[in-house]
Structure 1
Amino acid sequence: MAALLLVITLLMTFVDVTAFNVMGYANVQYTILYYQYRDLSFQSFPFIGYLLQTDWISLPILHSFTNGFFSGIFSNLLEFYATQSIFKMAIDLTLPLASVANITDTHDVGFVIMSSFGHGCHLLKLSEYLQIIITAATSLSCRYSPTVQCTRSWDSKEGFLVIIDNMMNLELLFEASNQTCSTDLVPYWDFDAPHNSTISYQSRDTSAAAIFASDLVELSQYVTARETKDYFLTSAKSIVDPLASPTYLILGNKDYVLRAIIVNGTQGPYSEKPYDIATVLGNYYLTQTVLRLFKL
């Protein structure tokens, strides 16, 4: 046991020393680079460099998929050192990239925005950064083809060009979705229903949510692994909480007079409006879920 503890201690020490060595050297090198590019008014950023030459080959701000990584390095340094000087450098190198969010003729917008504004948004929690991420995701989504079911990499003269880098640019779409999607876990009324991002409310299906929550509680009783059981139960509660809130309870709207429990249910593809109604099955499964949770 003593030998094992010694090995673990040595490994931890090695990791700490390595971290400080690498980050310290990066801080020195890139602080020098920061001032070099500041003197150039941040009109271009480093792309590649030849080891026997002192200067990097640089590319204009809007013309390289690597331009976000320069500011991203300073976000890494800021997370490690948390100093005011690095904070300023990170901001100075990130803001010039804002107009990249409006580019629609390449998928590379994902690389640039996520390594700069994406990292910075997680670190600094700036609403301005989040808005740029959302704008960039909208730009990238313009390159999606429902026929191909993929985003187009570049505007080639022939065919629909898709390269493996597409997978990395998907991070931008996921990030924007995670930051803007509803957190109440009540699904939209139909998978194929049109989504209008200009309005705050999209029709939901509380009946489906109630059924799913009930099933999750039941599933939790069939598994023995504590982690899995807790995951099912926590997920069920995360669905029930909004269903039991004024948002979806019928008592949340003084104009509702129907003797029901929850609103915004869905009942089949009928010619008349099949959604935003009360359903007896939705009421049943909500009460069933609550009862099942109560009996645990």
Structure 2
Amino acid sequence: MKLLFASVLICLASCQNLSKNKNSTVDSKVTAKLSSFDLNKEIKNCEAQLNQAVPKLTDLSKHPRLIETNETEWKEISNGRLVWTSGFYPGILWYMYDLTKEEKWKAEAIKRTEVFEDFKTINEHHDIGFMMFPAYGNGYIFGDKKEYKDILLTSAESLASRFNPKVGTIRSWSNKMHPRWQQHITIIDNMLNLELLFWAAKNGGSKEFYDIAVKHAETTMENHFRPDYTSWHVIEYDSITGKVLNRHTKQGYADDSRWSRGQAWGIYGYTMVYRETGDKKFLEFAEKLTDKYLELLPEDYIPHWDFDVPNLENEERDASAAAIVASCLLELSTLVEDKMNQERYYNAAMRMMESLSSEQYSGVGKTDSFLVHSTGAKSLGHEIDVALIYADYYYIEALDRLQKMAHSK
């Protein structure tokens, strides 16, 4: 109950303070509908969902990826070197351990993490960050598994090997996998992988890891965003000159449309880069990306899968994008100095969390997942209106951040 009361008090204090400020730029869609969020209840709901799902997920050679529309159980896929989503399930288990301190979750997390050790040498793509940090990084941080350090450092070295200094970014995909592009490809998702490099640079790895991460963030900031601070998905660079050749999409509606999860990756990425560097230019950029994203949201703060798709109101939502941004804005609210923006970003995050935990988007009583109504790649014809493992990951990360914020209060 203490966590619930703390969260309610934070919400109420924020709303009261903002309502007194006539010059507040807080979106009325947030303050008008913000109410209490039962953190304890949501943690227990997630634990109940895991208690329901974990006994069914016994094949260590596979991991849960999605729950198809109108299905109730996770579809598992093989833990291949090219499968970017494999680290999210063990990451979820580590967060549940951190939230509850129940040893059974630690044991399950260790079991599901340590099957990936051989992935530390992946250099075929950039997703080693997504694959290794939620699993081994969270295990090191929450589970005090100090033996994971060398695995993470090797993983960071593998990721850094894809950096092209002539371009200034880490190469995301191979051209063989994505023949539409012939040279150096970087996608906005790659911003999330930088956290592995920053962690490694602080924990015994090469200082070059830090420099690569900063340069990638700077180059991406320069080339990956439109004047209105929305993101393209895919940038193709000339491998020799570093010149931008094409700005395209893979998962958005069209090359020049605004893919909502791409914007989410950018917001999260630049918030994290500011946390790691302290460089205000990254904080200011994260705020600009956030403000544009909030401007584009529908009433319930869960975006459609692309902001520019025709017949927008009839298109599927993407709860995964909402979970990513909700988690990120909780952190961003603690990093900005202006009190009005602290409250504005916190309240926006809570509005997203309320929607995600509502009957509309919660998986409780419907599936084995925390959330439903995510869209992975409608433009490619799959993962349309489904549950996605990374939506659950960022949702439970948000719960973990809220618990820490409540305790700090």
Shorter-chain TM-score: what band?
0.5 to 0.7
Q: Which residue of 1 aligns with 2:84?
A: 65
Please provide the CA RMSD for this pair.
Answer: 2.6
Q: Which residue of 1 aligns with 2:149?
A: 130
Quick one: structure 1 residues 154 and 181, their matched pair in 2 at CA, closer, same or farther if it must change by over 3 Å? closer
Measured after TM superposition, the shift of residue 140 of structure 1 is 0.6
Quick one: structure 1 residues 9 and 69, their matched pair in 2 at CA, closer, same or farther if it must change by over 3 Å? closer
Give the counterpart letter for 1:130 in structure 2: K
Quick one: structure 1 residues 116 and 15, their matched pair in 2 at CA, closer, same or farther if it must change by over 3 Å? farther
Q: Which residue of 1 aligns with 2:179?
A: none
Report if aligned partners of 2:53, 2:73 keep a CA contact under 8 Å in 1: no
Quick one: structure 1 residues 148 and 90, their matched pair in 2 at CA, closer, same or farther if it must change by over 3 Å? same
Give the counterpart letter for 2:119 in structure 1: V
Q: Which residue of 1 aligns with 2:41?
A: 21
Aligned partner of 2:163 among 130, 138, 144 = 144
Where 1:165 maps in the other structure, the secondary structure is helix
Where 1:162 maps in the other structure, the secondary structure is strand
- Per-residue CA deviations over 1:23-68 (Å, capped at 9, x if unaligned) read 1111121233222121x2x111111112411332222112421111
Q: Which residue of 2 aligns with 1:241?
A: none
Report if aligned partners of 2:63, 2:86 keep a CA contact under 8 Å in 1: yes
Q: Which residue of 1 aligns with 2:273?
A: none
**2-side partners of 1:10 and 1:150: how far apart?**
40
Aligned partner of 1:45 among 42, 50, 63 = 63
Q: What is the TM-score with the length of structure 1 in the denominator?
A: 0.54
- Per-residue CA deviations over 1:78-132 (Å, capped at 9, x if unaligned) read 0111011111111111111222211110100000111111111111222221111
> Gaps spanning 5+ residues in structure 1: where?
184-296
Give the counterpart letter for 1:55 in structure 2: E
Where do 1:154-169 residues align within 5 Å?
A: 154-157=173-176, 158-169=182-193
Give the counterpart letter for 2:46 in structure 1: A
Give the counterpart letter for 1:87 in structure 2: K
**1-side partners of 2:36 and 2:105: how far apart?**
21
Q: Which residue of 2 aligns with 1:171?
A: 195
**2-side partners of 1:50 and 1:153: how far apart?**
27
Instruction: Please tell me whether residue 100 in structure 1 is matched to residue 124 in structure 2.
Output: no
Instruction: Please tell me whether residue 114 in structure 1 is matched to residue 133 in structure 2.
Output: yes
Quick one: structure 1 residues 51 and 8, their matched pair in 2 at CA, closer, same or farther if it must change by over 3 Å? same
**1-side partners of 2:70 and 2:205: how far apart?**
49
**2-side partners of 1:102 and 1:16: how far apart?**
45
- % identical aligned pairs: 27
> Gaps spanning 5+ residues in structure 2: where?
1-5, 14-33, 177-181, 208-409
- Per-residue CA deviations over 1:232-275 (Å, capped at 9, x if unaligned) read xxxxxxxxxxxxxxxxxxxxxxxxxxxxxxxxxxxxxxxxxxxx
**1-side partners of 2:11 and 2:123: how far apart?**
50
Where 1:45 maps in the other structure, the secondary structure is strand
Quick one: structure 1 residues 116 and 124, their matched pair in 2 at CA, closer, same or farther if it must change by over 3 Å? same
What number of residue pairs does the alignment pair up?
A: 175
Where 1:67 maps in the other structure, the secondary structure is coil
**2-side partners of 1:128 and 1:57: how far apart?**
31
**2-side partners of 1:120 and 1:174: how far apart?**
17
Measured after TM superposition, the shift of residue 156 of structure 1 is 1.0
**2-side partners of 1:65 and 1:105: how far apart?**
11
- Per-residue CA deviations over 1:188-240 (Å, capped at 9, x if unaligned) read xxxxxxxxxxxxxxxxxxxxxxxxxxxxxxxxxxxxxxxxxxxxxxxxxxxxx
**2-side partners of 1:133 and 1:16: how far apart?**
39
Q: Which residue of 2 aligns with 1:56?
A: 74
Whose RCO is larger (CA < 8 A, sep 6+)?
A: 2
Quick one: structure 1 residues 101 and 85, their matched pair in 2 at CA, closer, same or farther if it must change by over 3 Å? same
Measured after TM superposition, the shift of residue 8 of structure 1 is 2.7
Quick one: structure 1 residues 16 and 68, their matched pair in 2 at CA, closer, same or farther if it must change by over 3 Å? farther
Where 1:161 maps in the other structure, the secondary structure is strand
Give the counterpart letter for 1:70 in structure 2: Y
Give the counterpart letter for 1:53 in structure 2: E
Aligned partner of 2:204 among 180, 183, 190 = 180
Where 1:147 maps in the other structure, the secondary structure is coil
Quick one: structure 1 residues 11 and 100, their matched pair in 2 at CA, closer, same or farther if it must change by over 3 Å? farther
Q: What is the TM-score with the length of structure 2 in the denominator?
A: 0.40
Measured after TM superposition, the shift of residue 182 of structure 1 is 9.0
